Amino acid sequence: MTERPSRLIVIGENIHTTRVLMRKGPRLAVIDGVDVIKFTTVNGAEKTLTVPDSAKRTQDWEQGRVKHVKVAIDAAMQGGPEAGLGVEYLRTMAANQERGGAHFLDLNVDEISLKAEGQIAAIRWVVKTMEGMTKLPLSIDSSSVDVIRAGFEALSGKGQRTMLNSASLERLEALDLAKTYNAPVVVTAAGEKGMPDGIQPRVDNASRMVEAALQRGIALSDLYVDPLIFPVSVDTAFGPHCLEAIRALRLRFGPEIHITGGMSNVSFGIPARKLINDVFLVLAMEAGADSAIMDPVVSKPAELANLDRSSAAYKFAEDIILDRDRNCRSFLKAWRKGDLKV
């Protein structure tokens, strides 16, 4: 067994325009007939950000959710009366990520607009704004290379090295960008023509990415390999696929390379997601991962070591992750009985 790394490099994934708050949750309120999002600033001041009508005309709102980060960025970029509050909101989120133990602040604005121009304008604005308000290095995250490029162009160049999230075989040009900007880079195991099926395609695709990066003169220690984590709700074999790929990649590339991944994908489609995410993270670290793309405010890295591995809840989660519980049947049964409290 690979020794558990002493440190987990957290790519703090919360300043994302996909992020939602529940309308029924504690952060939403109606004050004087106006729907608002409540937040507490770094200095402890209680503030509210108005939910604009544009956000209320969405399906999300109808279904009980609001994309709060999008609301904040829209407010700030539009420069209306709440522009300052929008900026304050983002500053608060960044501070919370920092306090939670993030090592990078991942920024993704893909859902700000359906148009490339809108996404590019937003990433430029967010990069410039966040650079000045956090001590953390940024991570520029998009599924479009054009958006990533725009984000890097917006950097002052004076700050710390910014991460690029991500490059893969279908967009190798992102590696050239990483080289140009001397950026640590997430390389994924996605193939040119599709997602990897099983362990070996993950290892093969990821290895080709590592080779391609090395050829461009990117150092092994600047690579964050993401073997791709798929939801075990869809197929319980996905857990071992990812964990075994991590093991093989660590063995193949040694201690210098980083192994990461969007850990919370694993629990999509099942309840008790935090439990599953935490157990998966422990198992991934044991297999050789030393990084995670995650929200450290929700899953606290420092608490992982304290997980009670002999608890029934841990066992149930471990069983679905290691493909020992067909259709997650026992897990869901235990959840319904209320047996999954940690």
Interacting residues toward another protein by CB under 8 A: 18, 57-60, 110-111, 114-116, 119, 142-144, 147, 170, 190-191, 193-195, 230-231, 233-234, 236, 268-271, 327-329, 332
Q: How far is the CB of 243 from another protein (least distance, A)?
A: 18
Q: Which amino acid is at 243?
A: L
126 vs 328, beta carbon nearer another protein = 328
Q: How far is the CB of 120 from another protein (least distance, A)?
A: 11
Question: Beta strand pairing status for 185-188 and 138-141?
Answer: unpaired
Q: Is 288 within 8 Å of 298 (Cβ atoms)? A: no
Q: How far is the CB of 258 from another protein (least distance, A)?
A: 23
Task: Report the first-to-last Cα separation within the chain, whole angstroms.
Answer: 26
Calpha distance 314→111 (Å, rounded): 35
84 vs 269, beta carbon nearer another protein = 269
Instruction: Tell me the DSSP string of 266-293.
Output: GGTTSS-HHHHHHHHHHHHHHHT--EEE
- CA angle, 55 then 297 then 258, to 5°: 110
70 vs 91, beta carbon nearer another protein = 70
10 vs 21, beta carbon nearer another protein = 21
Q: How far is the CB of 100 from another protein (least distance, A)?
A: 25
State the residue for tokens 């209306």. Answer: 80
Q: How far is the CB of 15 from another protein (least distance, A)?
A: 16
120 vs 249, beta carbon nearer another protein = 120
Q: State how far Cα 125 lies from the chain centre.
A: 20
96 vs 108, beta carbon nearer another protein = 108
Calpha distance 322→135 (Å, rounded): 38
- Nearest to 162, CA basis, from 133, 140, 188: 140
Q: Which amino acid is at 9?
A: I
Q: How far is the CB of 45 from another protein (least distance, A)?
A: 33
Calpha distance 232→315 (Å, rounded): 15
Q: How far is the CB of 242 from another protein (least distance, A)?
A: 14
- Nearest to 51, CA basis, from 43, 33, 40: 33
5 vs 231, beta carbon nearer another protein = 231
Calpha distance 91→219 (Å, rounded): 32
